[in-house]
């Protein structure tokens, strides 16, 4: 009889979560064979004899067990998509104008960032006085406030320009947020269509 102690972990590769289990003393021939079988069908992530475990099964089980992880993964993917879209929009517009992306950003974004004035700094200080630690004065915080307002203006100018580019471009995002499948038992009180895309479960205790 041969015992094998495995090490399991959840990994994210190529935008998908899967369970990777390694064995301390697995024969090289078995590892090579398993790798070849997995490569034939990317949706199959594990096998036990004739039983195939698919990525969909793994995700469904993991989603029920740890929804926050899937939500964080979705948010990270969404942020990455937005960054890649922004880069693509800027590259395409720069190519259309026959200039570099750096030149485009300098011309259409950086040059249009409003300068932070002393009044802007003072107004921000007064508007946020309740959040400022006691004893901190305007003179002490003016440099930090100016840096913050400048960075905020940069972000606003960039988002405004990208919004204009996006309106004139064909942009489509098909990334779906994580959803937990819900099975409604027979006899449960249900209102609405069975084909509804969203199911809301209400729990109540009148006592």
Residue 34: pLDDT over 60: no
Q: Looking at the structure, tell me whether residues 152 and 77 fall in a common domain.
A: yes
The answer on pLDDT for 111 being more than 70 is yes
Last residue of a domain, which of 16, 36, 65? 65
Q: Are residues 72 and 162 in the same domain?
A: yes
Same domain, 26 and 51: yes
Range of the domain at 78: 67-167
What is the pLDDT averaged over residues 97-125? Answer: 95
Q: Are 99 and 158 contained in the same domain?
A: yes
Predicted pLDDT at 92: 94
How many C-beta atoms surround the C-beta of residue 145 within 10 A? Answer: 19
pLDDT of residue 30: 54
Residue 183, in any domain of the structure: no
Tokens at 25, concatenated: 């003393």
Q: Are the C-beta atoms of 76 and 66 separated by less than 8 Å? A: no
Same domain for 110 and 129, yes or no, is yes
Nearest to 89 by CA among 77, 78, 104, 74: 104
Average model confidence (pLDDT) for the chain?
Answer: 81
Cα separation, 128 vs 2, in Å, equals 68
Residues 44 and 136 in one domain: no
Split into its structural domains, the chain has a count of: 2
The whole-number average pLDDT for the span 120-145 is 93
Tell me: pLDDT of 195 over 70: yes
Residues 71 and 159 occupy one common structural domain:
yes
Q: Are residues 60 and 145 in the same domain?
A: no
Collapsing DSSP to helix, strand or coil, 187 comes out as: coil
Please check whether residues 82 and 159 belong to one and the same domain.
Answer: yes
């Amino acid at each position: 009889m041969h015992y094998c102690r495995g090490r399991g972990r959840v990994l994210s590769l190529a935008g998908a979560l899967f369970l990777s289990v390694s064995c301390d003393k697995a024969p090289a021939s078995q590892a090579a064979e398993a790798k070849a079988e997995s490569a034939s069908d990317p949706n199959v992530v594990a096998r036990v004899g004739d039983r195939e475990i698919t990525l969909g099964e793994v995700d469904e089980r993991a989603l029920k067990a740890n929804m926050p992880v899937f939500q964080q993964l979705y948010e990270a993917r969404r942020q990455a998509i937005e960054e890649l879209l922004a880069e693509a929009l800027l590259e395409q517009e720069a190519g259309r104008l026959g200039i570099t992306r750096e030149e485009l950003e300098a011309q259409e974004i950086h040059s249009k960032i409003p300068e932070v004035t002393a009044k802007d700094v003072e107004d921000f200080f007064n508007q946020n006085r309740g959040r400022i630690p006691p004893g901190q004065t305007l003179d002490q915080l003016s440099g930090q406030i100016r840096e913050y307002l400048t960075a905020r203006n940069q972000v606003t100018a960039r988002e405004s320009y990208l919004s204009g580019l996006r309106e004139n471009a064909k942009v489509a995002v098909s990334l779906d947020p994580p959803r937990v499948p819900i099975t409604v038992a027979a006899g449960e009180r249900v209102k609405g269509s069975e084909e509804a895309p969203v199911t809301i479960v209400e729990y109540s205790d009148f006592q």
